[in-house]
């Protein structure tokens, strides 16, 4: 599943072409992805101008001149193409056209036309159209916590959300009601950088350490975005190149390897929490 940095990388790749562009020749090649396309989806996009491209958690939001917002979730294998350049390739290579391309259209901006495609081999992604004024109240968004890169995310917020919580901090950070968009990879990396054990109860961590953790979460995400995301399943960024943050993973995927902490003689371990793999250094990240 693409995480926040990968989705943000796709957003930044789409923005120069789609922001301010008028949509034309929109075509839907099947009735559904994970969910059915909205009724009259192509017709409602035709002629609309994309005002900008936003991101909320792992969703892309494109407010339109029609008063609706086009929502896209990439699922596991969704990727956009712009004139053949793939944005967000998370699994095996997919053809630009053919059975896996489920959406296509044309974006016209400053007299230049760009072909847009959306391919999704496994069809776990989905698209929707929501009245822009109702987006925040929609079930997809109403229960989400603050953005980890936004002003609403802080140690004070975590302290309030974790108060009295006996669940371990790793699983708690994956709760989208507490913080939106954080995924397994970057939670592992942030806990390591903050030297917090993934096994400790969330409510037992001091506010001072949570302030450090909040700052580290932002740093980890910004580092990954700057590097273009993580190439775990052939992810391709907006320029068609790959992201390289995975080469800087301190713990994720490094089970049995030496800890990279200065002076640490520990070994990276892997455990399962909440059905997800957790990688950490038991020496650096003591309970």
The residues annotated as belonging to the active site are: 2-3, 58, 276
Q: What is the DSSP letter of 38?
A: P
CA distances from 55 to 42, 181, 193 (A): 22, 10, 26
Q: Which helix (H) or strand (E) holds 263?
A: none
CA distances from 131 to 67, 112, 282 (A): 6, 28, 48
The angle subtended at Cα 22 by Cα 16 and Cα 23, nearest 5°, is: 100
Phi-psi region at 249: left, alpha or beta (left = phi > 0; alpha = psi -120 to 50): beta
Q: What is the CA radius of gyration of the chain?
A: 20
Give the Cα separation of 187 and 199 in Å (integer): 13
Paired tokens of 191: 């806990």
Q: How many CB atoms lie within 10 A of CB 102?
A: 22
Give the Cα separation of 225 and 203 in Å (integer): 30
């Amino acid at each position: 599943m693409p995480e926040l940095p990968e989705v943000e990388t796709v957003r930044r790749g789409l923005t120069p072409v789609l922001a301010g562009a008028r949509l034309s020749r929109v075509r839907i090649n099947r009735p559904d992805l994970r969910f059915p396309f909205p009724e009259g989806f192509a017709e409602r996009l035709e002629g609309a101008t994309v005002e900008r491209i936003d991101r909320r958690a792992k969703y892309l939001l494109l407010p339109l001149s029609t008063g609706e917002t086009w929502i896209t979730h990439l699922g596991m294998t969704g990727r956009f193409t712009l004139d053949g350049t793939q944005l967000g390739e998370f699994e095996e290579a997919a053809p630009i056209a053919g059975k896996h391309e489920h959406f296509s259209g044309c974006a016209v901006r400053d007299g230049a036309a760009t072909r847009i495609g959306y391919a999704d081999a496994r069809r776990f992604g989905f698209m929707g159209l929501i009245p822009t004024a109702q987006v925040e109240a929609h079930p997809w968004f109403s229960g989400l916590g603050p953005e980890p890169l936004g002003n609403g995310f802080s140690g004070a917020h975590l302290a309030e959300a974790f108060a009295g919580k006996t669940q371990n901090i790793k699983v708690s950070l994956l709760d989208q009601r507490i913080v939106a968009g954080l995924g397994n990879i970057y939670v592992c990396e942030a806990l390591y950088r903050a030297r917090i054990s993934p096994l400790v109860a969330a409510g037992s961590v001091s506010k001072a350490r949570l302030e450090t953790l909040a700052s580290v979460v932002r740093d980890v995400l910004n580092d990954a975005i700057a590097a273009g995301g993580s190439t775990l399943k052939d992810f391709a960024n907006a320029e068609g190149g790959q992201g390289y943050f995975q080469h800087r993973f301190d713990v994720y995927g490094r089970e049995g390897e030496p800890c990279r902490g200065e002076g640490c003689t520990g070994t990276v371990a892997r455990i399962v929490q909440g059905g997800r793999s957790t990688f950490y250094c038991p020496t650096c990240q003591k309970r």
